[in-house]
């Protein structure tokens, strides 16, 4: 079952054709990577999914419904949230305030709980849901809990990236979009962040990652698409692509 399916997407910026008839899929509960060099169209593609860039033609089906060119806030409400390139954290706010900003659009909901072997549906208020999600994010990133009262501007680059991912998780997305999460990070931090991204997937989310660091990303992805000049140049299972000679020569220099 696909959580996302893009069909024949075309995006122009005036005379620049950034995406030229791209089709791709994200299976529910998987990590899919979009790889490619600078200017390949990766950011444009991910922005079109979150609604920040408009498409000229084609479809973006989210759980079967076409969301192409819907307003960004409506797309966010459907369950797609993006952790943007450059992190875009609110530097003057504390770590916890940044996380709470991410929960702005949450609503009260119902949850199934099991007590003494009996399942029942209970109503969960927005406040309870926010606390549950905050607990979950602090569980993934304990350093954010330690620093929750600190101004976000004082965090290291890796911690800011954790905060950006945590803020997106506070909106309880079904599909998480990560745009260049490894940009400028040291190898040890890369490893720590991707271990958490895998855990997030294992706990039921679908994840689409745009990255230039192809090698690290293929290690955690299930499937990948390689974009070149706005077209899908290659696609396949990550475990196959990581040993593909053409890809290794063109993109996997950076290990």
Measure CA of the first residue to CA of the last residue in the chain; give whole Å.
Answer: 32
Dist CA 198 CA 132 (whole Å)? 20
Residue 48 binds to ligand ATP (criterion: CB under 6 A): no
Nearer to ligand ATP, 7 or 17 (CB): 17
Give least dist CB 16 to ligand ATP, A. Answer: 4
Angstrom distance (rounded) from CA 200 to CA 140:
8
d(Cα 205, Cα 133) in Å, to the nearest integer?
14
Min CB(164)–ligand ATP separation in Å = 16
Asked if 158 interacts with ligand ATP (CB under 6 A), we say: no
Binds ligand ATP (CB under 6 A): choice among 4, 6, 32, 44: 44
Q: Is residue 130 a contact partner of residue 103, using CB atoms and an 8 Å limit? A: yes
Return the H-helix or E-strand segment holding 105: none
Return the residues of window 198-227 that contact ligand ATP according to CB under 6 A: 212
CA-only gyration radius of the chain, Å: 18
Does 22 participate in binding ligand ATP (rule CB under 6 A)?
no
Whole-number Å distance between alpha carbons of 2 and 62? 8
Ramachandran area for residue 180 (φ above 0: left; ψ -120 to 50: alpha; else beta): left
Q: Identify which range of 11-19, 66-74, 95-103, 159-167 contacts ligand ATP by CB under 6 A.
A: 11-19
DSSP state of 87: -
- Binding ligand ATP by CB under 6 A: which of 6, 30, 42, 140? 42
Residue 210 beta carbon to ligand ATP: minimum distance, rounded to whole angstroms: 7
Minimum separation from the CB atom of position 232 to ligand ATP (A): 13
Considering the complex, state which of residue 72 and residue 128 has its C-beta at the smaller distance from ligand ATP. 72
Quick check: 21 binds ligand ATP (CB under 6 A)? no
> What is the rounded CA–CA span in Å between residue 207 and residue 27?
9
Q: State which residue, 130 or 207, has the beta carbon closest to ligand ATP.
A: 207
| Sign of CA pseudo-dihedral 42, 31, 137, 65 | positive
CB 206 within 8 A of CB 25: no
Structure tokens at 89: 């954290």
* Beta strand segments in the chain, E: 2-13, 16-27, 31-35, 57-62, 65-66, 80-83, 109-115, 118-124, 175-179, 206-211, 223-228, 231-237
242 binds ligand ATP (CB under 6 A): no
Stretch touching ligand ATP by CB under 6 A, among 10-18, 57-65, 94-102, 160-168: 10-18
Residue 36 interacts with ligand ATP (CB under 6 A): yes or no? yes
Q: Does 175 bind ligand ATP (CB under 6 A)?
A: no
| Residue 40, both tokens | 């390949």
Residue 33 beta carbon to ligand ATP: minimum distance, rounded to whole angstroms: 13
Binding-site size, ligand ATP (CB under 6 A): 12
15 is an interface residue for ligand ATP by CB under 6 A: no
Residues that bind ligand ATP (CB under 6 A): 13, 16, 18, 36, 38-44, 212
């Amino acid at each position: 079952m696909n959580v996302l399916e893009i069909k024949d997407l075309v995006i122009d910026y005036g005379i620049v054709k950034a995406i030229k008839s791209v089709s791709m899929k994200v299976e529910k509960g998987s990590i899919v990577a979009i790889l490619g060099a600078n200017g390949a169209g990766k950011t444009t593609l991910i922005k079109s999914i979150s609604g920040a860039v408009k498409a000229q033609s084609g479809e973006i089906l989210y759980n079967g419904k076409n969301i192409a060119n819907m307003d960004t806030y409506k797309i966010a409400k459907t369950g797609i949230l993006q952790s943007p390139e450059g992190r875009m954290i609110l530097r003057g706010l504390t770590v916890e305030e940044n996380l709470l900003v991410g929960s702005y659009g949450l609503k009260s909901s119902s949850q199934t709980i099991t007590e003494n072997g009996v399942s029942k549906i209970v109503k969960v208020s927005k406040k309870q849901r926010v606390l549950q999600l905050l607990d979950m994010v602090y569980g993934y990133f304990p350093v954010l809990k330690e620093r929750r009262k600190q101004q976000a501007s004082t965090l290291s680059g890796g911690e800011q990236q954790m905060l950006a991912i945590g803020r997106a998780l506070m909106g309880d997305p079904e599909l998480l979009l990560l745009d260049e999460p490894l940009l400028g990070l040291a190898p040890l931090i890369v490893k720590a962040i991707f271990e958490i991204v895998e855990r997030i997937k294992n706990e039921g989310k679908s994840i689409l990652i745009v990255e230039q660091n192809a090698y690290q990303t293929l290690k955690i992805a299930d499937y990948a698409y390689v974009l070149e000049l706005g077209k899908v140049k290659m696609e396949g299972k990550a475990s196959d692509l990581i040993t593909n000679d053409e890809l290794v020569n063109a993109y996997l220099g950076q290990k």
